[in-house]
Structure 1
Amino acid sequence: MDDRYRPLNCDLYDYLEIACLHRYLLRIELLGGECLEVEALTTQTTASKEEFLLVRDAAGERRLRLDRLLAITPLTPGASFARVRLNVGGC
């Protein structure tokens, strides 16, 4: 498996920033088929230019690498967007 980071398109990254700004509760679908319900906190970029979404759930905070996210769906009422597909793939 190729583990090189593949950056998201800038227009898709904007949805993540909006979710973090408003602390949306999100349903996140991962490329491996797992689904999470988390609160969006912030985005992070490492020195090696990998980008992550920092989220929180009942178990605590965790980082999700952006190129491993299939889609996000806001669960917060009145959110400014609906389901957004971030990557190709999935189940």
Structure 2
Amino acid sequence: MITCDQHDYVEIACLFQYPVRLHMRAGEAIEGIAVNTCLNEAREECIELNQHGHHRLVALDQVASLEVRVENPHFQQVSFHKRF
């Protein structure tokens, strides 16, 4: 679970539909347009990405950092530290 402050950054990315790169804890990177936050079927908190017209849910617990791929007045990158 991420903190409320960290969740705010995810919501900003979705509100402005920023192109983002998610750096995953497992080492891979996932790119897409941030669209929404939601719960998946396993009730995990997710970010919904639009990847060339296909929507993908990515569990936020698996994300190490979120990088915005365009200049903007809000933020460029946020790191997610696991909260216990």
- TM-score interval, normalised by the smaller of the two chains: 0.7 to 0.9
| Residue number in structure 2 paired with 1:45 | 39
Structure 1 spans left out of the alignment, 5+ residues? 1-6
Q: What is the number of equivalent residue pairs in this alignment? A: 82
User: Pick from 6, 11, 18: which aligns with 1:12?
Assistant: 6
Is 1:61 matched with 2:65?
A: no
1: CA distance, partners of 2:40 / 2:27: 25
Structure 2 spans left out of the alignment, 5+ residues? none
Is 1:33 matched with 2:59?
A: no
| Residue number in structure 2 paired with 1:3 | none
RMSD over equivalenced CA pairs, Å: 1.8
- Residue identity matched to 2:64: L
Q: Point out the structure with max Rg over C-alpha.
A: 1
Identical aligned residues as a percent: 28
2: CA distance, partners of 1:61 / 1:77: 24
Which protein has the bigger strand share?
Answer: 2
2: CA distance, partners of 1:64 / 1:45: 10
Is 1:83 matched with 2:65?
A: no
Divergent runs of 4+, >4 A = 46-49
Q: Which TM-score applies when normalising by structure 2?
A: 0.86
CA contact (8 A) 1:24 1:79 kept: no
